[in-house]
Amino acid sequence: AQSVSQHNHHVILSEAASLELGCNYSYGGTVNLFWYVQYPGQHLQLLLKYFSGDPLVKGIKGFEAEFIKSKFSFNLRKPSVQWSDTAEYFCAVNALRAAGNKLTFGGGTRVLVKP
Protein backbone atom coordinates (compact mmCIF):
# COMPACT_ATOMS: atom_id res chain seq x y z
CA ALA A 1 0.00 0.00 0.00
CA GLN A 2 1.19 3.47 -0.76
CA SER A 3 1.94 5.99 1.97
CA VAL A 4 2.79 9.68 2.08
CA SER A 5 5.00 11.36 4.66
CA GLN A 6 5.19 15.04 5.42
CA HIS A 7 8.21 15.74 7.53
CA ASN A 8 7.07 18.77 9.46
CA HIS A 9 3.86 18.90 11.41
CA HIS A 10 4.19 22.57 12.30
CA VAL A 11 6.19 25.38 10.74
CA ILE A 12 6.39 28.92 12.07
CA LEU A 13 8.07 31.64 10.08
CA SER A 14 8.04 35.36 9.51
CA GLU A 15 6.73 37.20 6.50
CA ALA A 16 9.16 37.31 3.56
CA ALA A 17 10.90 34.15 4.72
CA SER A 18 11.22 31.24 2.31
CA LEU A 19 9.13 28.14 2.81
CA GLU A 20 9.87 24.56 1.90
CA LEU A 21 7.63 21.67 2.93
CA GLY A 22 8.82 18.13 2.44
CA CYS A 23 6.75 15.30 1.00
CA ASN A 24 7.87 11.76 0.34
CA TYR A 25 5.79 8.88 -0.89
CA SER A 26 6.28 5.15 -1.05
CA TYR A 27 5.08 3.64 -4.28
CA GLY A 28 7.19 2.23 -7.06
CA GLY A 29 4.88 2.83 -9.97
CA THR A 30 3.68 5.88 -11.85
CA VAL A 31 1.98 8.48 -9.71
CA ASN A 32 0.14 11.75 -9.93
CA LEU A 33 1.10 14.21 -7.20
CA PHE A 34 -0.84 17.02 -5.58
CA TRP A 35 -0.53 19.71 -2.98
CA TYR A 36 -3.74 20.91 -1.38
CA VAL A 37 -4.14 23.82 1.01
CA GLN A 38 -6.73 24.43 3.69
CA TYR A 39 -6.96 28.06 4.77
CA PRO A 40 -8.67 28.70 8.11
CA GLY A 41 -12.40 28.22 7.69
CA GLN A 42 -12.18 27.43 4.01
CA HIS A 43 -12.52 24.42 1.72
CA LEU A 44 -9.57 22.25 0.91
CA GLN A 45 -8.36 23.52 -2.46
CA LEU A 46 -5.78 22.50 -5.00
CA LEU A 47 -2.51 24.37 -4.91
CA LEU A 48 -0.73 22.53 -7.71
CA LYS A 49 -0.44 19.15 -9.38
CA TYR A 50 2.04 17.04 -11.31
CA PHE A 51 1.01 14.48 -13.87
CA SER A 52 3.95 14.33 -16.27
CA GLY A 53 6.48 16.47 -18.10
CA ASP A 54 8.52 19.23 -16.46
CA PRO A 55 9.17 18.09 -12.88
CA LEU A 56 9.06 21.68 -11.65
CA VAL A 57 5.43 22.73 -11.47
CA LYS A 58 4.02 26.10 -10.63
CA GLY A 59 0.78 26.60 -8.80
CA ILE A 60 -1.36 29.39 -7.50
CA LYS A 61 -0.20 32.18 -5.19
CA GLY A 62 3.47 31.84 -6.09
CA PHE A 63 3.89 28.25 -4.95
CA GLU A 64 5.93 25.69 -6.83
CA ALA A 65 6.88 22.07 -6.30
CA GLU A 66 9.58 19.83 -7.66
CA PHE A 67 9.11 16.16 -8.40
CA ILE A 68 12.30 14.16 -7.89
CA LYS A 69 11.50 10.65 -8.98
CA SER A 70 14.71 9.11 -7.66
CA LYS A 71 13.95 10.44 -4.19
CA PHE A 72 10.20 9.77 -4.30
CA SER A 73 9.76 13.38 -3.27
CA PHE A 74 7.48 16.27 -4.18
CA ASN A 75 8.53 19.21 -2.05
CA LEU A 76 6.57 22.45 -1.98
CA ARG A 77 8.32 25.82 -2.02
CA LYS A 78 7.56 29.49 -1.89
CA PRO A 79 10.39 32.05 -2.00
CA SER A 80 8.70 34.69 0.14
CA VAL A 81 5.67 33.95 2.28
CA GLN A 82 2.91 36.31 3.31
CA TRP A 83 0.73 36.32 6.39
CA SER A 84 -2.11 35.06 4.18
CA ASP A 85 -0.19 31.84 3.57
CA THR A 86 -1.08 30.72 7.07
CA ALA A 87 -2.85 27.43 6.44
CA GLU A 88 -2.54 23.66 6.58
CA TYR A 89 -0.86 22.05 3.59
CA PHE A 90 -1.42 18.48 2.43
CA CYS A 91 0.56 16.43 -0.01
CA ALA A 92 -1.38 13.70 -1.83
CA VAL A 93 -0.53 10.90 -4.21
CA ASN A 94 -2.63 9.00 -6.72
CA ALA A 95 -1.12 5.73 -7.90
CA LEU A 96 -2.20 5.29 -11.48
CA ARG A 97 -2.73 1.57 -11.10
CA ALA A 98 -5.01 2.03 -8.12
CA ALA A 99 -8.70 1.73 -8.80
CA GLY A 100 -11.04 4.61 -8.23
CA ASN A 101 -8.65 7.55 -8.63
CA LYS A 102 -8.00 7.33 -4.91
CA LEU A 103 -5.77 9.83 -3.19
CA THR A 104 -3.47 9.00 -0.30
CA PHE A 105 -2.75 12.05 1.85
CA GLY A 106 0.13 12.95 4.09
CA GLY A 107 -0.50 14.01 7.66
CA GLY A 108 -0.46 17.71 6.81
CA THR A 109 1.77 20.60 7.83
CA ARG A 110 0.39 23.56 9.70
CA VAL A 111 2.13 26.74 8.62
CA LEU A 112 1.91 29.89 10.69
CA VAL A 113 3.29 33.07 9.15
CA LYS A 114 3.90 35.81 11.66
CA PRO A 115 3.30 39.35 10.41
Please identify, using beta-carbon distances, which residue of 106 and 113 lies nearer to other proteins. Answer: 106
11 sits near other proteins (criterion: CB under 8 A) = no
94 sits near other proteins (criterion: CB under 8 A) = yes
Quick one: which segment of 13-21, 31-39, 63-71, 77-85 binds other proteins (CB under 8 A)? 31-39
In order of 3, 51, 109, the CA distances from 8 in angstroms are: 16, 24, 6
User: Are 77 and 66 spatial neighbours (Cβ–Cβ below 8 Å)?
Assistant: yes
Distant-in-sequence, close-in-space partners of 108: CB < 8 Å, separation ≥ 6: 6, 9, 38, 88, 89, 90
Q: Rounded CA gap, 35 and 67, in Å?
A: 12
Q: Among 7, 8, 11, 49, which residue interacts with other proteins (rule: CB under 8 A)?
A: 49
65 sits near other proteins (criterion: CB under 8 A) = no
Number of residues binding to other proteins, judged by CB under 8 A:
27
2 sits near other proteins (criterion: CB under 8 A) = no
